[in-house]
Amino acid sequence: MTPRSEAVGRWLGLRWESRRGKGGAIRVLVTGAAGFIGSSLVERLLSRGDQVVGIDDLCDFYDPARKRANLADALGHAGFTFVECDIRDAEGLSAITHARRLDVVVHLAARAGVRPSIERPGLYADVNVRGTANVLQLAVAAGARRFVFASSSSVYGNTTTYPFHEDDRVNEPISPYAATKLAGEMLCHTFHHLHGLPISCLRFFTVFGPRQRPDLAISLFLSRVGQELPIRVFGDGSTSRDYTFISDIVAGIEAAMGYDAPFRVHNLGNNRPVSLESLIGTVEAVTGRRAIIDRLPLQSGDMLRTCADISRATTELAYEPAVTLEHGMARQWEWMQAGIE
């Protein structure tokens, strides 16, 4: 370890040490902290009194300024420390937790997106697989009591069994992104087996809401339909997704952080799949404008349908998604409009 790395580790360690035990607070490290889900989780953890260190490399997959804006409130909180670090940088990660202990690691950082992964499979494997191995090593070294891994509904591929259950076979991913998430789950199981690290793997189903990435369908459709610009629609509109609002996902992550099981996989979805055609109808209702559709063929790597069986999460995590697509989209549209100057 370099002198600079040791200095960073000591500095962060002192900050954690000075807050240990405040009101029963736990020490949580969140990777991907400046992203859509990460920043929302960070704010929730800070609101309940936890001590949080957030890691993010602020990459240019989308505008880094948006990511910094996501963390604006958290950066002013005494319980939060932000470190700009790439999860592929094993030495940098080691410096963050050098000689210090953590209670929980929530690993959200990843290269996201099915279609971009087809164009850059090597990058996705490097970040999502090697990076996950590095974060798992960090958790073991820091004595974490629990590790929460953000997986994806994409691991189910084009299975014909609905709804998707955690015990379904997931050995036929149809995109590099899906393959990296499945590899991440397998790495998690390996580290659990070798080191006894308790792990929760959470398969997220199409998360939406304020701060959603600008390239994702709801965000993109709201923006373009709101400006009376055409939207690209792949297929005949019959494909469907299980849309899950951000506050429901954060509640599921929070429950998994406190779940007492050696290794477990949970679906976090809404169990209410919506067709693409119906989604566009909701966009029109929320924006008050008609969609101008540029219809294109289905894309390679896209799943035809997602639908979560959430019975395990409901029973074991008391997970009960509460926000409907219509209500959640209206809140996202309101947030997007508030950002228009």
Catalytic residues: 177
CB 302 within 8 Å of CB 233: no
CB 314 within 8 Å of CB 320: yes
H-helix segments, 112-157: 114-119, 121-125, 131-141
d(CA 277, CA 114): 20
How many distinct helices (H) and strands (E) make up the chain? Answer: 14, 13
Who contacts 163 (Cβ-Cβ below 8 Å, separation ≥6)?
271, 307, 308, 309
- Give me the residues paired with residue 104 across strands: 28, 146
CB 148 within 8 Å of CB 105: yes
Rounded to the nearest 10°, the torsion over CA 47, 33, 65, 226 is: -80
d(CA 179, CA 172): 8
